[in-house]
Each structure stands twice: as structure tokens, then as C-alpha cells.
């Protein structure tokens, strides 16, 4: 069966500098194992499948897959899927706010003129990491334990563990271990000297099915939880701009804002770079 698909650049500073996302539209007849097989074949960090909503308040439903599992929520798939839905003619029930249904529940997405932005979901797990976890992370990052300034749970679905280093320079200098690693979803953050247009450098590492460590170019879910942790600790005030992907040749830009109710919004530019039809 033929169906539309789009390849979308999310959180980019200029075309081909963000995180690519494949969006398959009209995916209602695909089974879970077919979605997973398509995702593995495309070999992008995530692929999403656009479906009609099953909740009355939602504008659309999305299923989000990584190379080895389905995710309840992820950030760049949220913005990219919303972009694809709007580009395909979607019209939200409430003007100016798109309501996405995903495994985590309902997520609001809004347009702020230069970018789409999603409301950061509440953390599912927070608080300090166990010292054993911190020691393991130091080994994976191949740094001394003392270089880790802080270590927190920052889990909003993917299971992020977050460590803060003393500077953005220290984050960019990391050369982590490559394989044989137990399941790990790790965020690393360090501040830029101020004044600067950028507040923080962020890197995201995750283990693939074979146990090899991969780096995600730009990660919305991680930046959402980073913003919640850092603003909660009084280390940064929104609005600010974070950078991600520089260590692997990308120029991701993540726009963090906070409204009068304290809600964190995570924004990024989105652009369709390729589109076509599948034969599946």
C-alpha cells in the first residue's frame, strides 16, 4: 500500500544541521512489528507513524520508534510529526495549539513565529543518581569522577540520566567508550561563559540494541528535562538557547522558554527536506 512519508530536519540552525526524522503518514494499517522493521531499515534515531487520535481532545496520535523499541515520548519526533501533520493540511481543534496524543498522554505544541515548541512533560523520575550510577557514567565518559559536578535523574519517558560538567568546553571534549555498555540513556550538559548567545552545550548518548554507544544529534526530550532541572536549581533562567550536535558536525539550536505559569516550552525550527511515497 502506498502512503506518504517525509524526512524532516528538526532543531536545525540551517538545513541539514539538525536531527533528521522520518514521518510515515496514514499508518493505521501497519502492525507494531512492521513499524519497528521500517525504523530499523531507515536507521535514523527515530521514526514516527501518524495515526488518527483515539482521545477526543487530541488532534492526532503518534507512535514513536527508535532502532530497538517504541518510546512513549520524544522531543524531536514530537516537533517533526507536528510539522508533518500541519504541512499535510492538519488544522488543530484549538487555534494556535496542536494537541498530540502519544504513549505519555497528551502533549501541547504551539507555534511561536520562528519555531514549533512543545510543553515539557512532567518528570517521571527525578532526584540524585546513586553513586554507583555516577561511577559507571564516569567510566563510560572516560573522565575522572571529580569532573562530574552534579548527577540527577531527568526521566520524562526515555529514561534520561543527566550529568553536569564544569563547562561547555569539557562537554565538547568528551570521547566516550564505544561498546559493551549496559542500557544507558545519558545526557551531559555544561555552561558557556557569559555573555554568549548560547547558555549550554548538551550531548546525548544512548545504547543501541547491540550495546554500542551512539550519540543523538539533537534531543528535545533531554533538553526539556535539562531545562526543568537547571531552572529548578536556579542555574539558568528562561528564555535561553542551548546548543547540541557540535561534536558530531551538527548545529542544533533549542529554544527554551517558560510561561507565566512556570511551564517549560522546548522549541526548534522544523523543515521538510525530502518527501515521497512508500511502497509498503
User: Does 46 qualify as catalytic in the annotation?
Assistant: yes
Catalytic one of 31, 46, 182, 215: 46
Nearest to 186 by CA among 211, 151, 210: 151
* DSSP-assigned letters across all residues of the chain: --EEEEEEEES-SSTTSSEEEEEE-S-TT--HHHHHHHHHHHTSS-EEEEE--SSTT-SEEEEEE-SS-EES--HHHHHHHHHHHHHTT---SBTTEEEEEETTEEEEEEE-SS-EEEEPPPPSEEEEPPHHHHHHHHHHHTS-GGG--EEEEEESSS--EEEE-S-HHHHHT-----SS--S-EEEEEEEPPSS-S--EEEEEEEE-TTS-EEEES--HHHHHHHHHHHHHTTS--SSEEEEE-GGGT--EEEEEEE-TT--EEEEE-EEEEEEEEE--
Active site residues: 46
Amino acid at each position: 500500500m502506498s502512503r506518504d512519508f517525509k524526512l524532516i530536519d528538526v532543531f536545525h540552525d540551517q538545513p541539514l544541521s539538525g536531527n533528521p526524522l522520518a514521518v510515515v503518514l496514514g499508518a493505521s494499517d501497519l502492525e507494531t512489528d512492521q513499524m519497528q522493521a521500517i525504523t530499523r531499515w531507515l536507521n535514523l534515531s527515530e521514526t514516527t507513524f501518524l495515526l488518527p487520535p483515539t482521545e477526543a481532545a487530541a488532534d492526532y496520535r503518534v507512535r514513536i520508534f527508535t532502532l530497538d523499541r517504541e518510546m512513549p515520548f520524544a522531543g524531536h519526533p514530537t516537533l517533526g510529526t507536528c510539522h508533518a501533520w500541519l504541512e499535510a493540511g492538519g488544522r488543530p481543534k484549538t487555534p494556535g495549539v496542536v494537541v498530540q496524543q502519544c504513549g505519555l498522554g497528551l502533549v501541547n505544541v504551539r507555534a511561536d513565529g520562528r519555531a514549533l515548541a512543545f510543553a515539557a512533560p512532567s518528570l517521571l523520575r527525578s532526584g540524585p543518581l546513586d553513586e554507583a550510577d555516577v561511577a559507571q557514567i564516569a567510566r563510560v565518559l572516560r573522565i575522572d569522577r571529580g569532573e562530574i559536578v552534579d548527577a540527577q535523574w531527568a526521566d520524562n519517558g526515555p529514561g534520561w540520566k543527566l550529568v553536569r560538567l564544569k563547562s561547555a568546553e569539557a562537554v565538547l571534549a568528551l570521547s566516550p567508550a564505544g561498546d559493551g555498555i549496559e542500557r544507558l540513556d545519558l545526557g551531559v550538559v555544561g555552561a558557556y561563559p557569559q555573555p554568549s548567545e548560547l547558555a549550554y552545550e548538551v550531548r546525548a548518548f544512548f545504547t543501541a540494541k547491540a550495546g554500542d554507544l551512539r550519540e543523538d544529534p539533537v534531543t528535545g526530550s533531554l533538553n526539556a528535562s535539562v531545562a526543568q532541572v537547571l531552572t529548578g536549581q536556579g542555574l539558568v533562567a528562561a528564555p535561553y538557547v542551548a546548543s547540541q550536535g557540535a561534536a558530531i558536525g551538527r548545529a542544533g539550536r533549542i529554544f527554551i522558554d517558560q510561561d507565566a505559569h512556570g511551564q517549560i516550552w522546548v522549541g526548534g525550527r522544523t523543515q521538510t527536506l525530502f518527501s515521497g511515497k512508500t511502497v509498503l
